[in-house]
């Protein structure tokens, strides 16, 4: 396994070695995402990350959107927070930085990496990687590549 390499399938698991800096960066993003998702039930919270990750179901129809929010928002926010927390836990428990995932957990990771990308893009105010030349933009591009690497491994099985 190469450092900074793609996810690979090895002995029936999906794995990748993460450097200390990579683990710290993902841990910070994921912890922040979990914290934001914990505020999802606050009707006064107008956080742009919440608006993006938990959008209105029927834009322009507040009544239908409110009904949908009441039925799904708490469960969806909890699922996103749990995914982010799972990523953090797996990174912290990784011997030598090597994360080994079964396919079910790898899907959780793929979803969580997508949520991290969206949250980062919303926080720094860009909507595509071509506009992203800052360190945050490079981080976004790396997360996009990392998620793609994971999806490719899952898709090949």
The string of pLDDT tens digits covering residues 42-63 is 766 788 999 899 988 888 888 9
Only one residue has tokens 């841990």, namely: 27
Please report, rounded to a whole number, the percentage of residues in the chain having pLDDT higher than 70: 92
**Average pLDDT score over residue span 114-137:** 79
| Whether pLDDT at 2 is above 60 | no
**Average pLDDT score over residue span 53-80:** 89
Instruction: Report the distance separating Cα 53 and Cα 47, nearest Å.
Output: 10
Tell the burial category of 83 from Cβ atoms under 10 Å away from its Cβ (0-12, 13-18, 19+).
Answer: buried
Coil vs helix vs strand at 4: coil
Residue 3 confidence (pLDDT): 41
Residue 4 confidence (pLDDT): 58
Residue among 110, 131, 123 nearest 29 (CA): 123
Average pLDDT over the chain, rounded to whole?
Answer: 89
With a CB cutoff of 8 Å and minimum separation 6, the contacts of 95 are none
| Whether pLDDT at 31 is above 70 | yes
């Amino acid at each position: 396994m190469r450092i900074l390499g793609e996810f690979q399938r090895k002995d029936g698991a999906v794995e990748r070695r993460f450097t200390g800096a990579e683990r710290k960066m993902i841990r910070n993003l994921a912890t922040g995402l979990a914290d934001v998702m914990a505020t999802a039930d606050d009707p006064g919270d107008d956080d742009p990350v919440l608006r993006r990750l938990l959008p209105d179901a029927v834009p322009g129809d507040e009544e239908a959107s409110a009904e949908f929010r009441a039925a799904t928002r708490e469960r969806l926010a909890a699922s996103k927070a749990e995914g982010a927390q799972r990523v953090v836990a797996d990174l912290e428990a990784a011997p030598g930085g090597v994360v080994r995932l079964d396919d079910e957990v790898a899907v959780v990771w793929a979803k969580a990496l997508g949520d991290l990308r969206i949250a980062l893009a919303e926080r720094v105010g860009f909507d595509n990687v071509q506009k992203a030349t800052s360190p945050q933009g490079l981080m976004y591009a790396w997360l996009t590549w990392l998620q793609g690497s994971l999806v490719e491994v899952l898709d090949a099985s």
